[in-house]
Amino acid sequence: MAITASAPAKTILFGEHFVVYGEPAIAMAIDKRAYVQVTLRNDKRVYVLSKDLGLSGYFENGLFFAEKGNRSTHVKLKPIMVAAEKVLDQYHEEPVGIDIEIDSSIPVAAGLGSSAATVAATTLAVSKLLNMELSRENIFRIAYDAEKLIHGTPSGIDPTIATYGGVVLYQKTKGLSPLKVEADIPLIVGNTRIERSTGSLITEVRRVHDSYSSVVGPIIKSGGEIARTATKALQSGDLTTLGELMNINQALLYAIGVSNEALESLVFAARKGGALGAKLTGAGGGGCMIALAEPENLNSVEKAIERAGGRAFVARRTMDGARIER
Ligand code: PMV
């Protein structure tokens, strides 16, 4: 028997980087998903194949054996193995082996939470295969713990969105809370295809902050105000205000040094193409940008981003977190 589960990608609408300094951030699940199919094996191995990354390997008795791929095979596949093992730890029958096949439409290392989506989908699929009823909270916990292995101390935004879907507000001191958003939030995601490291961008922002704290401090506070104002605009479905706030947010991210030429050129192309607003999403330095547009302008903005050299797709908010496909 094969079970397939899926989980969504995330975009940060407002507040990346400022969130590290205690301000709120807003993230939203989008309709790009990671799909994970699992089947039982005849042996006790946990075998993982990532079709989109072209990587495979298996874990046996706590050891990893790479099959296809490169030096990153272990790092990329380990969280998936850990998630599967954590589910197996809660399975009180005879030990079993599992084949895990990943087929994801989420761009990798682009700030869209592809790893958390894969891990959450794996957790749900394996538990269903073994006829276990894991609560959402349990799925989130397992996905979060597996994510910690590669990201150190992540905020938890990625596994929350992957598990629960929807829109969330996050603040370090208050944790995560769901936001009730009724309106459609039509986005275009543009990928610069430049890979970057979230960790080194956070370090660079820290340096700028520490060197010019009286200048950068107010920028961070202002970033927090944008997220607070945007919360109300999201709840009332005010797309014009959201677009303007995205543009202001982008200017602040530029000021702290996390935008670059590739991102700026996609952002400007999107605005010229008819977007209500555009900004980078996630850590910056490459990765993706997002643009907000009225439904009738989605195609022209998508084309404008493609012409400027980005890989673009239309994305819509999804309320569906991790779910069983069949
Ligand atoms: O690009 P991502 O998805 O890794 O997002 C990073 C967002 C930061 O605010 C820079 C860091 C964080 O943990 O919130």
CA–CA dist 266, 304 (Å, integer): 8
Band of residue 4 on the pLDDT scale cut at 50, 70, 90:
very high
Q: Are the C-beta atoms of 256 and 280 separated by less than 8 Å?
A: no
Beta-sheet pairing, 323-324 with 55-60: unpaired
Query: What's the pLDDT tens digit per position in 156-210?
Result: 899 999 999 999 999 989 988 999 999 999 999 999 999 988 888 999 999 999 9
**Rounded Cα gap, residues 236 and 272, in angstroms:** 26
DSSP character at residue 142: H
Q: Is residue 194 lining ligand 1, measured as CB closer than 6 Å?
A: no
Say if residue 153's pLDDT is above 70. Answer: no
**CA–CA separation, 175 and 298 (whole Å):** 33
Measured from the Cβ of residue 251, the count of other Cβ atoms closer than 10 Å reads 13
Report how far residue 316's alpha carbon sits from residue 31's, in angstroms, rounded to the nearest whole number. 6
Q: Is the CB of 16 under 6 A from ligand 1?
A: yes
Residues whose CB is less than 8 angstroms from the CB of residue 251 and which lie 6 or more positions away in sequence, other chains included:
none
Compute the radius of gyration of the chain from its Cα atoms: 20
pLDDT at 59 over 90: no
Helix/strand/coil for 192 = coil
Which of 12, 18, 158, 253 best tests ligand 1's pocket when mutated (most atoms within 8 Å of CB)? Answer: 12
> Whose CA is closest to atom 5 on ligand 1?
282
Residues 158, 210, 238, 320: which is the catalytic one?
158
Which pLDDT tens digit goes with each residue over 130-148? 999 999 999 999 999 988 8
- Positive or negative, the Cα torsion across 178, 28, 230, 214? positive
146 with 86: CB under 8 angstroms?
A: yes
- Model confidence pLDDT, tens digit, residues 240-297: 999 999 999 999 999 999 999 999 999 999 999 999 999 999 999 999 999 999 999 9
For residue 154, the ligand 1 atom closest to its alpha carbon is 13
Decide if 45 contacts 97 (C-beta within 8 A).
yes
Phi, psi of 289, deg, nearest 5: -120, 165
Pocket flag, ligand 1, residue 19 (CB < 6 Å)? yes
Looking at the DSSP assignment, which residues form a beta bridge with residue 176?
170
Mean pLDDT to the nearest integer, 32-57 = 93
As a whole number, mean pLDDT of residues 97-126 equals 94
Which atom of ligand 1 is nearest to 16's Cα?
9
Distance CA 27, CA 126 (A): 27
Mean pLDDT estimate for the chain: 94
